[in-house]
Amino acid sequence: MSALPYCDDVLDRSIPLLQLPDVSKWMGIPITGVHQLLRDHRLIAVKRDRVPGVPEAFFGEDGQPVRLLSGLITVLRDGGFADEEILQWLFTEDDSLTGTPIDAMHTDQAREVVRRAQSMAF
């Protein structure tokens, strides 16, 4: 089996990460399911202090990834963005949204975030 994909930690240290076993518990799936989500690029992990983790902001209160997140990641990856660039964009303040794009993904602005990603990627 291939190594788990993760990227450099380009996030501010104040952004909380969930370790992969915690993601497994939150989502109610086996750890191998989390590994597959990472391999399928439906989630992005970073390595912080030698431990892979997924930004907590990727998940809603129900423990599942926020709606449209995997599609957003796909749009940006297909548009040539590296995982580090995707994370930087998601966690950078945008005055025209409610905070950052990842914050907006938790609101009714999620489709607007995806629309902007589509226009940036192509």
* Tokens 């996030």 sit on residue: 11
pLDDT band at 15 (very low <50, low <70, confident <90, very high): very high
Give the separation between CA 61 and CA 52, rounded to whole angstroms.
Answer: 22
pLDDT at residue 97, as a whole number? 87
Check: CB of residue 79 under 8 Å from CB of residue 70.
no
Taking only the tens place, the pLDDT of each residue in 17-44 is 999 999 999 999 999 999 999 999 999 9
CA 24 to chain centre: 15
- This prediction has a pTM of 0.92
